[in-house]
Structures are given as C-alpha cells and as structure tokens.
Amino acid sequence: QSVFAGMSVRDFRTVVKGETLLTLVERGEEALLPTGATTLLVGDRIHVLAHEKDMEKIFSLAGRPLKPLRKIGVVGGGRMGALIVEGLLGKVQRKKSLFSKIITYIQPRSFRNVVVIEKDYNLCKELSGRFPEALILNEDISDEGFVEEEGILDMDLIVTATENQELNMIAALYLKARGVERAVALVSGAGYATIARQLGIDVVVPMKSVVVDSILSHLLGGGIRGVHRIGEGSIEILELEVSASAHIAGKRLDQFPNSAGALVMQVSRGNDSFIPRGDYVFSPRDRIVLIVKKGAEIEIERLFGGPQ
C-alpha cells in the first residue's frame, strides 16, 4: 500500500527527501499540475523527477517495489519493434538532450535476454542478422499453444508493438491475464490509450502523439527545442534554451509567473543538470525542461523568446 495516499505534495518531498520533484498527477482522465496543497488520492498516477539512486525508495514508498527486468518480450518486429529492440540492447545513439537524460532514468538497465516474436519469416531472418543478441521467434502471438510452449509467460515485461493496435491491446491484456506481470502496448491515438489504461495495461504509448510531438518541435519558436505531450494531450513537456534577450533571463525561479501555467522541472547548465529551487536564476544558455498546460505555449514563448 502506498504511503502517499492522502498526503499533500508539500509533505511528499519531506517524506521522500533527496532532490525530487512531483511534476504531474493524473486523476482519472484529468491531468493536474500539482501545487504544494494538492492532496494525492488512491488511484492517482504520479510523475516524479528524481535522481536514479532515489527511484527504488520512491517506488517502494508508492507500494510498487522495483523488480529487475530479466526477460523482455517484444511482439512485432516491424519498424517500431526494431527501434524498441535497439533501445533495449543499447544500440541507440541518443541525442544528448535533457529529454534523453530523463529517459535514461526509466530504461531497464540490466536483463538477461530480449525475445522478439514476429510472424513474418523474412522479417525474422532480417532481425536475426541485425540483433544476434536477441532470440527471434517466428511465431504468431495469437497462437495459444505457442504461448504455452515457448515460456512467454515467464517474461517480466511484454511490449506489444505490431502495426495492429487492437492486436497490441488484446495481446497485452491476454498475457497479463496469463501471468506476465507488466505490459506496454503501442496504440494509434489518445482515445485508444484511455481505453487501454482503463482495461489494465500498465503503460500505453499513443504513436500519433509521438508524431505530433516531432512536428510541433519544428513549428514552435521562442527557443523551444522539443515537445512531448502527455495526459491525453492536455499537458506538454517543453525543452528550450534561455536566450540573453529573454524576458525571464536574470530573474529568480520564485519570480516565475504563476499565470504561465507551467512548472520548471530541470535545468542543464554546462555539464551539470539539476532540479531548481526558488533561488535559481534563469541564465543565458541554460537549457530548461518545463511541464506546461496545453495552450500556455504563447506565454512560454513570450517569456523565453529571443534570438538564439
């Protein structure tokens, strides 16, 4: 049982200690940017930014102790499945950005093997040459006999990444019902993501939102370097750089206007990254990660805009 239930966000940091920041609370279909007075309720999904060394303690306090991922299955060996396998095997050369630093905190660090399940024989041959470290199975995930025989139910995590979102949802739910502890499903949009979460899939990735993020990061100005939408699109994470002419340059974090509808999550200055406190001063060339309410982009662009 989570010790956070009934606790205020103000008390959360006192209990957790260390350098942590509770950045978002998902309550049903509502996404909330928390204040110190926000009370955490049973069933809330909370997003926490913290040092990697503190994550085990946070999960334990939340009633979900971390378990090592020793065996991971990826259903679907197409473009998305292959990208996932690349990431799991450490073959991805990530852009050195604040986003990549945050993502590394949630990536599994050690596991014994990766298993790819793909029904297309030719694609399996290609995957075998590309990923000799992985076990490639030329099988149909909908074949119940295969699931029983190949030890699929012993997996710690299954990621369903075929091009058929209905199959992804059904396979994830079926394997969880049969004993696989955790499941991640790729779906096409936020509508399906809501349904999948309500059905009990642990993590749902709406691919349409990922594409939109990529487009928005090129369209937005004001020093905005990247965009990622969460909370069914009602919340955005922005990565940007403070310019010398920005309105916010030289001001303290505790002077950041509440009307901006945003929370500063992380700052990168030179080779250092940190969670800022109230006395932090926005300085030129600082790279900032903000979590903002949808529609606040214009105000954020006004505060952080300027020649790069």
CATH number reported for the structural domain that contains residue 28 in this entry: 3.30.70.1450
Which two structure tokens, joined as six digits, stand for 29? Answer: 């279909």
Residue 280 exposure: Cα atoms within 13 Å on the Cβ side? 20
**pLDDT confidence of residue 229:** 58
What pLDDT, on a 0 to 100 scale, did the predictor assign at position 306?
Answer: 56
Q: For residues 121 and 250, state if they share a domain.
A: no
Query: What pLDDT does 76 receive?
Result: 94
Indicate the burial class of 7 (C-beta count within 10 angstroms; 0-12, 13-18, 19 or more).
middle
Q: Is residue 2 part of a domain?
A: no
Phi, psi angles (nearest 5°) of residue 68:
-65, 145
For the sheet with 20-27, list strands across it: 30-32, 20-27, 45-50
CB neighbour list of residue 27: distance below 8 Å, 6 or more residues apart: 41, 43, 44, 45
Q: Are residues 134 and 96 in the same domain?
A: yes
Other Cβ atoms closer than 10 A to 150 = 16
| Structural domain of 251 | 220-304
Q: Which of 178, 208, 238 marks a domain boundary?
A: 208
pTM: 0.63
Same domain as 204, residue 83 = yes
How many Cα atoms are found within 13 Å in the side-chain-facing hemisphere of 26?
Answer: 15
Instruction: Count Cβ atoms below 10 Å from residue 174 Cβ, excluding itself.
Output: 17
Give backbone dihedrals phi and psi of 128, rounded to 5 degrees, phi first: -60, -40
Q: Is 55 contained in some domain?
A: yes
Q: 142 and 171: one domain?
A: yes
d(CA 249, CA 62): 37
Total number of residues shown for the chain: 308
Residues 149 and 235 in one domain: no
User: Looking at the domain assignment, is residue 83 inside a domain?
Assistant: yes
The verdict on residue 16 lying in a domain is yes
Do the domain assignments include residue 164? Answer: yes
Residues 82, 54 within the same domain:
no
Q: Which of 76, 70, 83 is nearest to 113 (CA)?
A: 70
* Other CB atoms within 10 A of residue 19 CB: 13
What pLDDT was estimated at residue 222?
A: 45
**End of a domain among 177, 208, 239?**
208
- pLDDT tens string, the chain, 308 residues long: the values are 789 999 999 899 889 887 888 988 888 778 888 888 899 999 888 888 888 788 888 989 988 887 777 889 999 999 889 988 888 887 654 444 433 333 343 344 444 589 999 999 999 999 999 999 999 999 988 887 777 776 778 888 899 999 888 898 899 998 988 888 888 888 876 666 667 777 778 777 766 555 444 433 433 444 545 545 565 567 777 888 888 888 889 999 988 876 667 888 889 898 888 888 888 999 999 988 888 887 777 788 778 875 44
What total of structural domains would you count in the chain? 3
**Does 229 share its domain with 280?**
yes
Per-residue pLDDT, 214 = 45
Domain boundary among 208, 236, 251: 208
pLDDT computed for residue 116 by the predictor: 94
